[in-house]
Amino acid sequence: MLYGLYELLLQALNEFHGLSADFYRWVVVAVILACLVEALFWLCGRLVLRDWRPGWILGGVAGLWFPLTCLIFLSLPATAYLKPAAETILKTWQTGFTHDDAWNQESFRQQYWAVQALKTPDGQPLENFSGYPAPEQGGTKIPASHRESQSVIATIDSNRVAEHFQTRLPLLAQLLWADERPLPEVLRGDMEKFFRDNPDTAYDHFKAVQLAGTEMQRLLEQKIGRIVLMARLGLAGLLLLLWLPLSALAVYDAWKRLEPTTLKA
Protein backbone atom coordinates (compact mmCIF):
# COMPACT_ATOMS: atom_id res chain seq x y z
CA MET A 1 0.00 0.00 0.00
CA LEU A 2 2.82 2.42 0.87
CA TYR A 3 4.57 1.58 -2.39
CA GLY A 4 1.32 2.28 -4.24
CA LEU A 5 1.08 5.69 -2.56
CA TYR A 6 4.68 6.46 -3.46
CA GLU A 7 4.11 5.32 -7.06
CA LEU A 8 0.95 7.41 -7.42
CA LEU A 9 2.52 10.59 -6.00
CA LEU A 10 5.68 10.11 -8.06
CA GLN A 11 3.62 9.68 -11.21
CA ALA A 12 1.55 12.76 -10.29
CA LEU A 13 4.77 14.76 -9.96
CA ASN A 14 5.90 13.42 -13.32
CA GLU A 15 2.59 14.43 -14.92
CA PHE A 16 2.84 17.84 -13.21
CA HIS A 17 6.32 18.30 -14.66
CA GLY A 18 5.24 17.24 -18.13
CA LEU A 19 1.89 19.03 -18.36
CA SER A 20 2.34 22.27 -16.42
CA ALA A 21 4.43 25.27 -17.43
CA ASP A 22 4.44 26.38 -13.77
CA PHE A 23 6.32 23.36 -12.44
CA TYR A 24 9.63 25.13 -11.85
CA ARG A 25 7.88 28.11 -10.28
CA TRP A 26 6.32 25.72 -7.81
CA VAL A 27 9.75 24.23 -7.11
CA VAL A 28 10.95 27.70 -6.07
CA VAL A 29 7.78 28.26 -4.01
CA ALA A 30 8.23 24.87 -2.31
CA VAL A 31 11.83 25.70 -1.34
CA ILE A 32 10.80 29.12 0.01
CA LEU A 33 7.97 27.62 2.07
CA ALA A 34 10.27 24.91 3.41
CA CYS A 35 12.74 27.63 4.46
CA LEU A 36 9.93 29.42 6.30
CA VAL A 37 8.97 26.24 8.12
CA GLU A 38 12.60 25.69 9.10
CA ALA A 39 12.77 29.31 10.30
CA LEU A 40 9.67 28.76 12.44
CA PHE A 41 11.39 25.76 14.01
CA TRP A 42 14.33 27.97 15.01
CA LEU A 43 11.95 30.68 16.18
CA CYS A 44 10.22 28.27 18.56
CA GLY A 45 13.49 27.70 20.41
CA ARG A 46 14.57 31.35 20.35
CA LEU A 47 11.29 32.56 21.80
CA VAL A 48 12.39 30.76 24.96
CA LEU A 49 16.15 31.33 24.76
CA ARG A 50 17.39 34.18 22.59
CA ASP A 51 20.69 32.58 21.55
CA TRP A 52 19.33 29.02 21.29
CA ARG A 53 20.82 26.70 18.71
CA PRO A 54 19.69 23.11 18.16
CA GLY A 55 21.98 20.28 19.18
CA TRP A 56 23.34 17.90 16.60
CA ILE A 57 20.39 15.50 16.92
CA LEU A 58 17.66 18.14 16.57
CA GLY A 59 19.65 19.95 13.90
CA GLY A 60 20.22 16.72 11.99
CA VAL A 61 16.53 15.81 12.06
CA ALA A 62 15.58 19.34 10.98
CA GLY A 63 18.07 19.08 8.12
CA LEU A 64 16.58 15.74 7.10
CA TRP A 65 13.05 17.12 7.26
CA PHE A 66 13.91 20.04 4.96
CA PRO A 67 13.98 18.14 1.62
CA LEU A 68 10.92 16.16 2.71
CA THR A 69 9.14 19.45 3.37
CA CYS A 70 10.10 20.72 -0.08
CA LEU A 71 8.68 17.53 -1.57
CA ILE A 72 5.43 17.87 0.41
CA PHE A 73 4.90 21.46 -0.71
CA LEU A 74 5.63 20.46 -4.31
CA SER A 75 3.27 17.48 -4.05
CA LEU A 76 0.33 19.67 -3.00
CA PRO A 77 -0.18 21.27 -6.45
CA ALA A 78 0.79 17.96 -8.06
CA THR A 79 -2.34 16.36 -6.57
CA ALA A 80 -4.29 18.14 -9.32
CA TYR A 81 -2.66 15.62 -11.67
CA LEU A 82 -3.67 12.49 -9.77
CA LYS A 83 -6.23 11.56 -12.41
CA PRO A 84 -3.77 11.38 -15.35
CA ALA A 85 -1.28 9.74 -12.99
CA ALA A 86 -3.77 7.00 -12.09
CA GLU A 87 -4.67 6.56 -15.77
CA THR A 88 -1.00 6.11 -16.69
CA ILE A 89 -0.51 3.51 -13.94
CA LEU A 90 -3.64 1.69 -15.08
CA LYS A 91 -2.50 1.60 -18.71
CA THR A 92 0.85 0.19 -17.61
CA TRP A 93 -0.95 -2.55 -15.65
CA GLN A 94 -3.23 -3.35 -18.58
CA THR A 95 -0.34 -3.59 -21.05
CA GLY A 96 1.72 -5.86 -18.82
CA PHE A 97 -1.22 -8.03 -17.80
CA THR A 98 -2.53 -8.49 -21.35
CA HIS A 99 0.79 -10.03 -22.43
CA ASP A 100 1.26 -12.17 -19.31
CA ASP A 101 1.28 -15.60 -20.97
CA ALA A 102 2.15 -17.43 -17.76
CA TRP A 103 -0.94 -15.99 -16.06
CA ASN A 104 -3.13 -16.95 -19.03
CA GLN A 105 -1.84 -20.51 -19.04
CA GLU A 106 -2.38 -20.94 -15.30
CA SER A 107 -5.88 -19.51 -15.52
CA PHE A 108 -6.75 -21.86 -18.38
CA ARG A 109 -5.32 -24.83 -16.49
CA GLN A 110 -7.45 -24.08 -13.41
CA GLN A 111 -10.57 -23.63 -15.52
CA TYR A 112 -10.01 -26.81 -17.50
CA TRP A 113 -9.64 -29.09 -14.49
CA ALA A 114 -12.43 -27.37 -12.57
CA VAL A 115 -14.88 -27.95 -15.42
CA GLN A 116 -13.69 -31.52 -15.91
CA ALA A 117 -14.44 -32.19 -12.24
CA LEU A 118 -18.11 -31.19 -12.65
CA LYS A 119 -20.56 -34.09 -12.52
CA THR A 120 -24.21 -34.68 -13.34
CA PRO A 121 -26.56 -35.87 -10.56
CA ASP A 122 -25.90 -39.49 -11.60
CA GLY A 123 -22.13 -39.04 -11.35
CA GLN A 124 -21.35 -38.69 -15.06
CA PRO A 125 -19.06 -35.94 -16.39
CA LEU A 126 -21.08 -32.80 -17.04
CA GLU A 127 -19.17 -31.95 -20.22
CA ASN A 128 -17.90 -34.12 -23.05
CA PHE A 129 -14.14 -33.63 -23.18
CA SER A 130 -13.63 -35.66 -26.36
CA GLY A 131 -11.48 -33.55 -28.65
CA TYR A 132 -10.50 -31.21 -25.81
CA PRO A 133 -6.97 -32.22 -24.74
CA ALA A 134 -5.60 -31.12 -21.37
CA PRO A 135 -3.48 -27.96 -21.19
CA GLU A 136 -0.41 -30.09 -20.47
CA GLN A 137 -1.01 -31.78 -23.86
CA GLY A 138 -1.36 -28.52 -25.76
CA GLY A 139 -5.11 -28.04 -25.37
CA THR A 140 -6.46 -24.52 -25.77
CA LYS A 141 -10.24 -24.95 -25.42
CA ILE A 142 -12.72 -25.99 -22.73
CA PRO A 143 -16.20 -27.38 -23.43
CA ALA A 144 -18.75 -25.08 -21.80
CA SER A 145 -22.18 -26.03 -23.12
CA HIS A 146 -23.78 -26.04 -19.65
CA ARG A 147 -24.47 -22.99 -17.55
CA GLU A 148 -22.70 -24.51 -14.55
CA SER A 149 -19.51 -24.90 -16.59
CA GLN A 150 -19.79 -21.34 -17.84
CA SER A 151 -20.25 -20.08 -14.28
CA VAL A 152 -17.17 -21.98 -13.06
CA ILE A 153 -15.01 -20.58 -15.88
CA ALA A 154 -16.31 -17.06 -15.29
CA THR A 155 -15.79 -17.28 -11.52
CA ILE A 156 -12.19 -18.48 -11.80
CA ASP A 157 -11.20 -15.92 -14.42
CA SER A 158 -12.96 -12.97 -12.77
CA ASN A 159 -11.50 -13.77 -9.35
CA ARG A 160 -8.01 -14.11 -10.79
CA VAL A 161 -8.23 -10.84 -12.74
CA ALA A 162 -9.50 -9.02 -9.64
CA GLU A 163 -6.80 -10.61 -7.47
CA HIS A 164 -4.10 -9.56 -9.94
CA PHE A 165 -5.49 -6.01 -10.01
CA GLN A 166 -5.71 -5.77 -6.22
CA THR A 167 -2.24 -7.28 -5.75
CA ARG A 168 -0.49 -5.02 -8.26
CA LEU A 169 -2.51 -1.85 -7.58
CA PRO A 170 -3.71 -2.19 -3.96
CA LEU A 171 -4.00 1.54 -3.34
CA LEU A 172 -6.14 2.22 -6.41
CA ALA A 173 -8.22 -0.86 -5.68
CA GLN A 174 -8.88 0.40 -2.15
CA LEU A 175 -9.64 3.96 -3.23
CA LEU A 176 -11.93 3.04 -6.10
CA TRP A 177 -13.60 -0.21 -5.12
CA ALA A 178 -14.02 0.12 -1.35
CA ASP A 179 -17.74 1.00 -1.42
CA GLU A 180 -18.63 -0.30 -4.88
CA ARG A 181 -19.81 -3.54 -6.43
CA PRO A 182 -16.86 -5.98 -6.13
CA LEU A 183 -14.73 -6.22 -9.24
CA PRO A 184 -15.08 -10.03 -9.52
CA GLU A 185 -18.85 -9.63 -9.60
CA VAL A 186 -18.66 -7.06 -12.42
CA LEU A 187 -16.36 -9.28 -14.48
CA ARG A 188 -18.33 -12.45 -13.77
CA GLY A 189 -21.56 -10.82 -14.90
CA ASP A 190 -20.00 -9.83 -18.22
CA MET A 191 -18.50 -13.29 -18.72
CA GLU A 192 -21.74 -15.10 -17.98
CA LYS A 193 -23.57 -12.87 -20.47
CA PHE A 194 -20.88 -13.63 -23.06
CA PHE A 195 -21.26 -17.38 -22.53
CA ARG A 196 -25.03 -17.19 -22.86
CA ASP A 197 -24.63 -15.49 -26.23
CA ASN A 198 -21.58 -17.52 -27.32
CA PRO A 199 -21.76 -21.02 -25.82
CA ASP A 200 -18.67 -23.21 -26.07
CA THR A 201 -16.52 -20.18 -27.00
CA ALA A 202 -13.48 -18.99 -25.05
CA TYR A 203 -13.80 -15.64 -23.28
CA ASP A 204 -11.04 -13.27 -24.37
CA HIS A 205 -8.65 -12.50 -21.51
CA PHE A 206 -7.94 -9.11 -23.09
CA LYS A 207 -11.64 -8.24 -22.77
CA ALA A 208 -11.56 -8.91 -19.02
CA VAL A 209 -8.54 -6.64 -18.60
CA GLN A 210 -10.21 -3.94 -20.69
CA LEU A 211 -13.41 -4.22 -18.66
CA ALA A 212 -11.48 -3.85 -15.40
CA GLY A 213 -9.80 -0.76 -16.83
CA THR A 214 -13.10 0.69 -18.05
CA GLU A 215 -14.71 0.21 -14.65
CA MET A 216 -11.75 1.87 -12.97
CA GLN A 217 -11.94 4.82 -15.36
CA ARG A 218 -15.63 5.23 -14.57
CA LEU A 219 -15.01 5.19 -10.83
CA LEU A 220 -12.01 7.50 -11.20
CA GLU A 221 -14.23 10.10 -12.87
CA GLN A 222 -16.68 9.86 -9.97
CA LYS A 223 -14.21 9.87 -7.08
CA ILE A 224 -11.24 11.95 -8.22
CA GLY A 225 -12.43 15.02 -6.29
CA ARG A 226 -12.54 13.10 -3.02
CA ILE A 227 -9.21 11.41 -3.75
CA VAL A 228 -7.51 14.77 -4.38
CA LEU A 229 -8.98 16.19 -1.16
CA MET A 230 -7.82 13.15 0.82
CA ALA A 231 -4.33 13.44 -0.68
CA ARG A 232 -4.04 17.12 0.20
CA LEU A 233 -5.28 16.57 3.75
CA GLY A 234 -2.85 13.67 4.09
CA LEU A 235 0.08 15.78 2.92
CA ALA A 236 -0.89 18.61 5.28
CA GLY A 237 -1.16 16.10 8.12
CA LEU A 238 2.25 14.68 7.27
CA LEU A 239 3.75 18.17 7.34
CA LEU A 240 2.33 18.77 10.82
CA LEU A 241 3.47 15.33 11.95
CA LEU A 242 7.02 16.13 10.89
CA TRP A 243 7.36 19.59 12.39
CA LEU A 244 5.05 19.94 15.40
CA PRO A 245 6.86 17.36 17.57
CA LEU A 246 10.23 18.75 16.46
CA SER A 247 9.17 22.31 17.32
CA ALA A 248 7.93 21.14 20.71
CA LEU A 249 11.32 19.50 21.31
CA ALA A 250 13.01 22.77 20.32
CA VAL A 251 11.01 24.64 22.97
CA TYR A 252 11.79 21.98 25.57
CA ASP A 253 15.50 21.96 24.69
CA ALA A 254 15.69 25.76 24.94
CA TRP A 255 13.82 25.73 28.26
CA LYS A 256 16.27 23.18 29.72
CA ARG A 257 19.18 25.45 28.84
CA LEU A 258 17.81 28.45 30.69
CA GLU A 259 19.96 29.55 33.60
CA PRO A 260 18.38 28.90 37.02
CA THR A 261 18.59 32.61 37.78
CA THR A 262 16.64 33.37 34.64
CA LEU A 263 13.93 30.95 35.71
CA LYS A 264 13.73 32.53 39.17
CA ALA A 265 13.44 35.99 37.69
Give the tens place of pLDDT for each residue, 21-59: 899 999 999 999 999 999 999 999 999 888 888 889 999
Percent of the chain, pLDDT > 90?
Answer: 39
What is the pLDDT at residue 259?
66
Q: 125 by DSSP, 3-state: which? A: strand
Taking the C-alpha atoms of residue 241 and residue 28, their distance in angstroms, rounded to an integer, is 23
Give CA angle at 215 (214, 220), nearest 5°: 95
CA 194 – CA 132 distance, rounded (Å): 21
CB 143 within 8 A of CB 128: yes
Which residues are CB-neighbours of 23 under 8 A, at least 6 positions away? 16, 17
**Which residues are 119's β-sheet partners?**
125
Percent of the chain's residues with pLDDT above 70: 93
* C-alpha to C-alpha distance for 112 and 69, rounded to whole angstroms: 54
* DSSP letter assigned to residue 200: T
Helical packing angle, 2-19 and 23-46, nearest 10°: 120
Can you give the residue ranges of every domain in the chain?
A: 2-81+226-264, 86-222
Please tell me the pTM assigned to this model. Answer: 0.79
Could you read off the pLDDT of 77-131 as tens digits, one per residue?
Answer: 999 999 999 999 999 988 888 888 888 889 889 989 999 999 998 888 888 888 8
Coil vs helix vs strand at 31: helix
